[in-house]
Structure 1
Amino acid sequence: MSVRLGLAGDVMLGRLVDAHQRERPPEAVWGSALELLRELDGLFVNLECTLSTRGTPWDRTYRPFHFRADPAWAVPALEAAGVDGCSLANNHVLDYGAVALRDTLDALDDADIAHAGAGRTREAAFEPAFVELEDLRVAVFAMTDNTPEYAADAASPGIAHVEIDVDSEETRDAVRGALERARAGDPDLVIASLHWGPNMVESPPDAFRDFGRWLVDAGVDVVWGHSAHVFHGVEVRDGAPIVYDAGDFVDDYRVDPRLRNDRSFLFDLSVADAGRPAELRLHPTEIDDFAVHEAGPEAAAWSRERMQSRSEPFGTTFEREGSGLVLALPDE
């Protein structure tokens, strides 16, 4: 029996999303995509904000944006969609300081939502998360090359920060350490979550391609990237999908009329027996009224065409199914 695991890009619940959500039910942030999310056996998102009402905006270095959501509605919203795990290795979980990050960790722990990529110490930040989905045990570890000033250390909370460089001994040691801890938990599937690179770029640089392939060669089953705010192409290496960037899922950001950072996909991965990724389905989504929705016909066609063209350099060709795309993964 296969298990359906959803991977979504950036979920930013602060600022205007937070303001609107105070006037509507928690599940409203998922718009018309809610039922699609609830059909999944598991769901992981990159949580691009803190869950707290405390703290003060980070001012030790220049930060133009600070994202914070009230956990009173945000946690029930995550629960309503069936979110099982959050990647916290990004450039916003310390926006309101250590107290707000600790509140975020506590809120997720209290809701039994797994998390990886940030912690009270460096060791905790690099610790993988484990989630049981039906008969599938999933391990997720998360890292980022963004915002080095947010890096956790031996005594201070923060993020799991690395340089995206396969030639970096420090990076290789960090990844191998996370993989060893993941394997020690006897998972069926290992996912690497990477919040990497700058905003509003349309394809991964060579260094990211090398890194994603190296992760697969090291034993990662799924590479799940995000950070650019626009989706990138998908590569398959030895049967393992490399989603270079999943784009944005929910936010209040200004929309670039050419890049259309309001459009992306829910990445729906079917995992067969023994933890083998078997199929990847892409459901087109669109952000409107500070919520995520299933994309309409025009937006879906736009996203399908661009995903096909952005995946072509990797030798990846999707088949159309309904409004979305589907990719059978080889049994390597």
Structure 2
Amino acid sequence: MTQSVPAQDGIVRVMFGGDVMLGRLVKEAILRHGPDYPLGPIANLMRGADLAVVNLECAITASTEQWQGAPKAFYFGAPPEAVESLSRAGVDLVSLANNHVLDFGIEGLRDTLRLLRRHDIRFAGAGEDRREALSPVTLDCSGIRFGMAAFCDHQEDFAARGDRPGMAYLDFDDESAVMAALREALDPLRCASVDWPILSLHWGPNMVFRPSKKFRRIAHAAIEMGWKILFGHSAHVFQGIEIHRGCPIIYAAGDLVDDYYVDPDFRNDHQLLLEMALTRDALCGITLHPVFIENCQVRRASGAQVDYIAGWMSALCREMGTPVRREADTLRIEGRAP
């Protein structure tokens, strides 16, 4: 996890994975095969990074009491053993601002927070009250300081309010309020001398390959405000990466593991794991590792899977003005000066 010694050559490697959903059929696989099952095939790759970040798209709890609000189509609850799935894969930091973290109520959220703390996995975007849900987290990694705040734009009834537990909700239809919230979340990271502030956003509809003009506008404004990495997710497919003023914008990181129906048009079993090489003040480059989800397990992609992921991601990045170079079974985006 985090280290106090300087990184070799002053470079820190940060891994970003998309949605990690460990409930339903993935839960059954964990209980049958053990916690290493869903992420085990890529665990060495993730553990090789200095810092690994994902969006945790479920509660981790033994509770069976579902959210008492309006009925939902899907409730995602992972067993307590699933926290080992994260820790053994080297996950250091998770976003909890999403529309499934309270699927098993406040008890389910509290179990999730307790288990993450017990395994020294840091989190942002949800908490025991509104203050905790909105508070960014900071951590030092190989001599470089990172910080993250996390927000979600749907499931408003999950929002933390006053002293009520919940997640950090933002209405993206009110752009002025969004900008005010992002400035407020950035201020403590500036005061803490964070080198790389990360803004995690669970936003937008499912199965969309391109961000809206509004989302691009908000992303640019966030970078210009002082956020250095935008880590977006929710679409269940990857979108193109943009480099704005030397800072990476991941509009949608896709999924890392799940049990979802595979749409033949979107091919959402074809995914990516993103690895950034960073110095204290610059992005050196991004390596994209193609991965494939099958039978509730993620592994490195191969053959035609890599060809599809490489071709489609290169095209989506090209639309963003981002050149991508293929290197064997990985893709490479070069860094740019701020």
Same fold (TM over 0.5): yes
User: Contact 2:24 / 2:78 at 8 angstroms: preserved in 1?
Assistant: yes
Matches within 5 A, 1:126-145: 126-145=134-153
Q: Does 1:94 align with 2:102?
A: yes
Structure 1 spans left out of the alignment, 5+ residues: none
Q: Does 1:224 align with 2:237?
A: no
- State which of 264, 267, 288 in structure 2 corresponds to 1:257: 264
Between the aligned partners of 1:235 and 1:46, the Cα distance in structure 2 is 20
Structure 2 spans left out of the alignment, 5+ residues: 1-9
In structure 2, the partner of 1:57 is 66
In structure 2, the partner of 1:150 is 158
User: Contact 2:42 / 2:89 at 8 angstroms: preserved in 1?
Assistant: no
User: More displaced, 197-206 or 54-63?
Assistant: 54-63
In structure 2, the partner of 1:85 is 93
In structure 2, the partner of 1:189 is 196
In structure 2, the partner of 1:118 is 126
Between the aligned partners of 1:169 and 1:190, the Cα distance in structure 2 is 21
In structure 1, the partner of 2:78 is 69
Give RMSD over aligned pairs. 1.2
Letter matched to residue 94 of structure 2: C
User: Contact 1:14 / 1:68 at 8 angstroms: preserved in 2?
Assistant: yes
Letter matched to residue 336 of structure 2: P
Does the residue aligned with 1:216 lie in a helix, a strand or coil? helix
User: Contact 1:136 / 1:275 at 8 angstroms: preserved in 2?
Assistant: no
User: Contact 2:318 / 2:324 at 8 angstroms: preserved in 1?
Assistant: no
Between the aligned partners of 1:233 and 1:52, the Cα distance in structure 2 is 34
Does the residue aligned with 1:104 lie in a helix, a strand or coil? helix
Letter matched to residue 36 of structure 2: E
- State which of 293, 298, 307 in structure 2 corresponds to 1:292: 298
Alpha-carbon offset, residue 279 of structure 1: 0.7
User: Contact 1:55 / 1:99 at 8 angstroms: preserved in 2?
Assistant: no
Matches within 5 A, 1:293-312: 293-312=299-318
Letter matched to residue 313 of structure 1: E
Does the residue aligned with 1:270 lie in a helix, a strand or coil? strand
Letter matched to residue 296 of structure 1: S
Deviations 1:59-100 (A, max 9, x none): 4212110001112x2111111111110000000001011111
Between the aligned partners of 1:133 and 1:187, the Cα distance in structure 2 is 11
Does the residue aligned with 2:284 lie in a helix, a strand or coil? strand
Between the aligned partners of 2:336 and 2:123, the Cα distance in structure 1 is 30
Aligned residues: 329
Q: Does 1:241 align with 2:248?
A: yes
Alpha-carbon offset, residue 184 of structure 1: 2.1
Between the aligned partners of 1:158 and 1:227, the Cα distance in structure 2 is 18
Q: Does 1:29 align with 2:35?
A: no
Does the residue aligned with 1:20 lie in a helix, a strand or coil? helix
- State which of 16, 20, 28 in structure 2 corresponds to 1:7: 16
- State which of 146, 162, 168 in structure 1 corresponds to 2:170: 162
Large movers: runs of 4+ above 2 Å: 167-170
Deviations 1:143-192 (A, max 9, x none): 11011111110021111111225x63322221111101222222111111
TM-score of the pair, normalised by structure 2: 0.95
Between the aligned partners of 1:198 and 1:59, the Cα distance in structure 2 is 24
Between the aligned partners of 1:278 and 1:89, the Cα distance in structure 2 is 29
User: Contact 1:89 / 1:118 at 8 angstroms: preserved in 2?
Assistant: yes
In structure 1, the partner of 2:288 is 282
In structure 1, the partner of 2:6 is none
| Identity value in percent | 39
Between the aligned partners of 1:114 and 1:275, the Cα distance in structure 2 is 23
Between the aligned partners of 1:129 and 1:76, the Cα distance in structure 2 is 21
Letter matched to residue 143 of structure 1: F
Letter matched to residue 249 of structure 1: L
Between the aligned partners of 1:116 and 1:267, the Cα distance in structure 2 is 20
